[in-house]
Structure 1
Amino acid sequence: MSKVKEGDLVRVHYTGKLENGQVFDSSLNREPLEVKLGQGSLIPGFEKGLLNMEPNERKTIVIPKEEAYGEKKRELFQSVPKANLPEGMKPEVNMGLVATNADGTERQLRVAEVNENDIIVDGNHPLAGEDLTFELELVEIK
């Protein structure tokens, strides 16, 4: 039976969990993820976990934050004066925001703190700083 290697196109079902067991994503109620390995479209630890798997094999992998979304970076936290927010906006901790960069691209932010005169927004990936657990089931190697 063939095993997954870099460059293969694979279909895989997965369930991603945080350290506390909370599920943050799963493909079980939709089509399996189809991805070509070695193209940088997956976090490094997920791709490493797929290598050498055989079709119909299941396994659980733990991905340290360094091979997932990295540590939270302090430089991605910014203070925004409440006066700069849209009129009538009532920011709350964990509220998602979209900011438009000078070049017109958008970036996802999360409200980390709400203070009297400003809010602190976090531009890190929501899973930055987290070790992740994935339950994998290799459906097929195409």
Structure 2
Amino acid sequence: MSDFVQCDSAVLVHFVMKLEDGSIAESTAENGKPALFRLGDNSLSDGMEEQLLGLRAGEKKSFSLAPDDAFGKISPDLIQYFSRRDFVAAGEPEIGAIMLFTAMDGSEMPGVIREISGDSITVDFNHPLSGQTVHFEVEVLEIDPNLEATNANTVS
């Protein structure tokens, strides 16, 4: 077990993620279930990993990540247009609804219904927090915890 977070550490943390308007997007402290991350496995952005490096168990840190360092910029390539006929089996879509779509490789991707205009339905496959600066409050609970003794959610 290491004394501080390193580039390949598993880290058990509580975090609060806030948006620019101060609203809370996610809080592990609020739901009482810490998150477990492994640095270097591509589950976190490089910007997030950089902020965690060097922290010690029990240490807290507040920081902000610009879109490029958090969930990325909004990509116009991830906004797709469908015909209303494509939704016959799924029912009438509603603006703001998140629906699962099957990709060509069989994997499922969530998409947000952004606009319905006549026979055209606009679906956004960007991460819902793309294009936003995100503010974090992180508390490191454990570094390289004994996973069998931990009741944490694994976030990936």
Partner of 2:95: 93
Partner of 1:34: 36
Residue 126 of structure 2 is aligned to residue 124 of structure 1: yes
Partner of 2:25: 24
Cα distance in 2 for partners of 1:88, 1:141 equals 44
Cα distance in 1 for partners of 2:121, 2:107 equals 22
Percent of residue pairs identical: 32
TM-score for the superposition, normalised by structure 1? 0.91
Cα distance in 1 for partners of 2:8, 2:77 equals 35
Cα distance in 1 for partners of 2:13, 2:139 equals 6
Residues 93-136 of structure 1, C-alpha deviations (whole Å, 9 max, x = no match): 11111111222211111111111121111011111111111100
Return the structure number with greater helix share. 2
Cα distance in 2 for partners of 1:41, 1:101 equals 21
Cα distance in 2 for partners of 1:56, 1:49 equals 15
Residues 26-63 of structure 1, C-alpha deviations (whole Å, 9 max, x = no match): 11123321222122111222211111112111111101
Cα distance in 1 for partners of 2:91, 2:10 equals 45
Within 5 A, what are the aligned runs for 1:1-142? 2-28=3-29, 29-86=31-88, 89-142=91-144
SS of the residue corresponding to residue 59 of structure 1 reads strand
Q: 1:88 to 1:106 in 2, by over 3 A?
A: closer
Comparing 82-91 and 63-72, the one that deviates more: 82-91
Residues paired across the two proteins, number: 142
Comparing 94-103 and 30-39, the one that deviates more: 30-39
Q: 1:45 to 1:88 in 2, by over 3 A?
A: closer
Cα distance in 2 for partners of 1:105, 1:53 equals 36
CA RMSD of aligned residues (A): 1.7
What amino acid is the match of 1:21?
G
SS of the residue corresponding to residue 125 of structure 1 reads coil
SS of the residue corresponding to residue 50 of structure 2 reads helix
Cα distance in 1 for partners of 2:83, 2:61 equals 47
